[in-house]
Amino acid sequence: MISATVVLLLAHAIIPRLRWRSAAERHLLWAASLAMAGMLPLLALLVPAWQPEWAARLGDAWPSSLAALRPWTSVPGADVIVRTTGIETTVWDAGRWLMALWMTGTAVALLLLARDAARLVHLARDARPLDDRRCQEVCRACASQLHVSRTPVLFLSRRAVMPMTWGIRRPRVLLPAAALDWPADRVRAVLTHELAHIARADWLVHLVAQLVCAVYWFHPLFWTAERALGRETELAADDEVVGVGLEASQYAADMVEIVRACRPDVSSRAPAVAMARAKHLERRIAALLLPGANRARVSSRIAVVTAAASALFVLPLAAMTGGEALDVEVRAVALPPAVHASPTSGLAPATPTVRASRSGEAAGVAREDAASPPVIEEYTTPPLYSDEARRRGIEGVVTIAFRVDERGSVADARIVNGLGGGLDQNALVALRQWRFRPGRRNGTPAAMDAEVDIEFSLRSEGINELIANDMATLVGPGVTPPRVVRTSSVPLRAAHANGSVVLDVVLQQDGSPRIVRILRSLTPEADESAVRHFEQWRFSPAMKNGVPVRVRMNAEVRFRD
C-alpha cells in the first residue's frame, strides 16, 4: 500500500495544478492514477522482484529483518541480541483481525453499490421509452456530431429525476418528465452532455472507480481521487457542449434550472453518470464562463502515450515491492520444489538424492557391489534464502560433501561448490538438521562419505518459507517472552570479521533453539562460528495462556575484529 499511496499523493499534488490543461486531460490523468494505485498490489505479485542499488545500500545499513524490532532479552556484555518475531498459536492475531475488518468493509461497500444499482433499476423500470420525434432527431444529430457509434435509447421518467446515462453495448439516457416542455436548445445541451459521457466511456470509468474504492475503502486518498475524477468528468462533458457551438452562458442558465427542478434519486456512487449535482454546480459554472479556457479533447495519441507512461512508471514500482510481497503473499501459491532431487508429487519439496563420494570409495566403503549410500529419512528443514542472496537474485546449486557414521549422524560437512551470499551456510544449516539412514556394506551399517546437491531457486522460495515458518503468526498480547537460561561456552572466533551475523531461529517449547537459516551473512567462518555458538544457548519456554509455545526470533551475533 505504500507504493499506491505514493502514486495518489503525486496525483493529488500535481493534477490540480494543471489548470492550463483541459478537463478531459486532467480526467485522463486521474483515471490513470487510480488505475495504477489499484493495480500495484496485484502487479507486485506478478512481476519479478527488482531492487535498485540505492535501495540495496539502504537495506544493508538498516536490515529489514531488524527494522521494527527491539531486543527483548540479552546478557550484559554479550555479543548476541535476540528479538522475537512470531509465535506459534491458533488464536486470531492482529493481522487476521485486520484482514477480517478489510473484507467486511469491502463487503459493505459493495453492498451499498449494489443497493444504488437496485435503485437505478427500479427507476429505469418506472420510466417509459421516449418516442418524441423532436428529441429523437436531436439525439441522432448529437450522436453524429460526437461520433457516437451506438445511438442511445431515450427514456422518460415519471419523476423529476436528474438526467443521467449508463451502459456500454446499449447505452441509455434517462430524462425527467419535464423534458417534453424544454426549449430546443436545452434539449440539445442536455443530450449533448449525456452523449459526451457515452463517447468518452465515462460510465465504465465511473463504475471501475467505484469498485476500486470499495476494495480500498479504508484509504482516504482513493476516495478523494474518485471525487476529483467525477468533477473532471462533468467539466469535460460541459466542454463538449460548448465545443459543438452552444452558448456557454445559456447552457449555464439551463443547468441551474435543471438542478432547481430535478432531484438526484440515486447517490453519486450509483452505477450511472448524472448530469449535475448541486455541490459541483458553482465550480462548473465558473469553468463554463471562464474566457479562453482550454476545452480540448483527449486525442488517441495522448491516450496511448499516457497509458504507456503509466505502464513504464508502475511496473518498476511494482517490481520494487515484489520482493516484499513475495515473503508474505506467495505462501498460498503452489510452487516447484527448491531442492535438486528425484521426481516426487505434491507440494512438499522433493528429498535430495544422496550419492557416495569418491572419498568414500577411497576409504573402501563404496567400492563393493553390496554397498549402498546413506539415505535421508526425514527432510525436516528446507534450505532458505538469506537477505543478501534474495536481494542479489542468486540462484544455483550448492554441493556439500559430508560423512554419515554408523548411527546416521552427520559430520565433517564442507562446501564443495558454493554460491556465496550466505547460501552455502544455509545449505549446511539445513543439511545438519536432516535425519539419515546410514549407508550399508554387506548388510551392515557403515560410515560413508557422501555428497548432495542442494538447489536454490527464487521461484520456489515461497513453499520452503511456508514449511520453515510453520504458519507462525505475529506476537500478540498475553505472551510471556522467554529468558536466557544458559549461554554458550563455544567462543566467537572469526578472522578479519567485523560486523554481525543475523540468524533466523525457532525456539522450541523446551527452550532449545533450532536455527533455520542465516538472514544476514558476514563471512563463511563467521557464519559457522555464529551457528555453533548460538545453538548451545538455552531459554525458558515462551508461555501463552499458561502453555509453552514455539517462538520465532532473530539473533544478531556480533563480531569485533
> Could you report the per-residue pLDDT of 307-337, keeping only the tens digit for each?
888 878 777 776 664 433 322 222 222 223 3
Q: Which of these ranges, 299-308, 343-352, 497-506, has the smallest mean pLDDT?
A: 343-352
Residue 367 CA to residue 359 CA, distance in Å, equals 11
Q: Which of 275, 282, 279 is nearest to 236 (CA)?
A: 275
Max distance between CA atoms of the chain, in angstroms, equals 107
Band (pLDDT 50/70/90 cuts) for residue 303 is: confident
**How does residue 342 score in pLDDT terms, banded at 50, 70 and 90?**
very low
Residue 250 has pLDDT above 80, yes or no: yes
Residue 193 banded pLDDT, cuts 50, 70, 90 = very high
Instruction: Compute the average pLDDT of residues 252-266.
Output: 78
State the DSSP code for 160: -
Q: Are 525 and 501 in contact (CB under 8 A)?
A: no
Task: Say which amino acid occupies 425.
Answer: Q
**What does the alpha-carbon distance between residue 530 and residue 83 come to, in Å, rounded to a whole number?**
16
pLDDT grade for 449, boundaries at 50, 70 and 90: confident
CB contact burial 443-461 (16+ within 10 A = b; e otherwise): eebbbbbbbbbbbbbbebb
Cβ atoms of 188 and 142 within 8 Å: the answer is: yes
Please name which of 228, 248, 230, 231 lies closest in space to residue 239, comparing C-alpha atoms: 248
Q: What would the pLDDT profile of 351-389 be if each residue is shown by its tens digit?
A: 566 666 654 443 433 344 457 778 877 766 777 888 888
Alpha-carbon span 101 to 104, nearest angstrom: 5
Q: Within a 10 A sphere around the Cβ of 532, how many other Cβ atoms?
A: 15
Higher-confidence residue of 58 and 499: namely 499
Q: Which grid cell is 130?
A: 421516449
| Edge-first strand listing for the sheet containing 410-417 | 355-356, 448-456, 396-404, 410-417
Cα separation, 418 vs 485, in Å, equals: 36
Pick the residue with more confidence: 365 or 273? Answer: 273
pLDDT tens digits, residue range 105-140? 999 999 988 888 888 888 888 888 888 888 888 898
Report the distance separating Cα 70 and Cα 554, nearest Å.
10
pTM for this predicted structure? 0.54
Percent of the chain with pLDDT over 70: 73
- Asked whether the beta carbons of 506 and 470 are under 8 A apart, the reply is yes
300-328 burial, b at 16+ Cβ within 10 Å, e below that, comes to eeeeeebeeebeeebbebbbbbbbebbee
Identity of the amino acid at 348: A
pLDDT of residue 230 exceeding 70, the answer is yes
| pLDDT category of residue 493 using cuts at 50, 70 and 90 | confident
Mean pLDDT in residue range 400-409? 86
- The alpha carbons of the chain give a radius of gyration, in whole angstroms, of 34
CA distance 39 to 321: 12
Cα separation of the two ends of the chain: 41
Which of residues 431 and 63 earns the better pLDDT score? 431
- From 138-152, 188-202, 340-354, 403-417, the region with the lowest mean pLDDT: 340-354
Higher pLDDT, 323 or 506: 506
Distant-in-sequence, close-in-space partners of 190: CB < 8 Å, separation ≥ 6: 163, 175, 179, 182, 254, 258, 275
The yes-or-no verdict on residue 102 having pLDDT over 60 is yes
pLDDT at residue number 149:
81
Per-residue model confidence (pLDDT) at position 220 = 92
What are the C-alpha distances in Å from 507 to residues 86, 511, 539? 10, 6, 8
At residue 86, the pLDDT reads: 56
Q: CB of 33 within 8 A of CB of 212?
A: no
Overall average pLDDT of the 182-208 stretch: 90
Region 439-449 average pLDDT: 84
**Three cell numbers written together for 265:** 434519486
- The conformation of residue 369, written as its DSSP 8-state character, comes to T
What does 21-77 look like in DSSP terms, one character per residue?
S-HHHHHHHHHHHHHHHHHHHHHHHHSPP---HHHHHHHHHS-GGGTT---SEE-TT
**pLDDT for position 330:** 23
DSSP 296: P
Number of neighbours of residue 420 by Cβ within 10 angstroms: 17
What integer is the mean pLDDT of 502-526?
84
How many C-alpha atoms does 357 have within 13 Å on its Cβ side?
19
Rounded Cα distance, 34 and 212, in Å: 8
CA distance 482 to 509: 10
Provide the residue count of the chain.
561
pLDDT at residue 66, rounded to an integer: 40
Going 312 to 315 to 319 to 320, the CA torsion angle's sign is positive
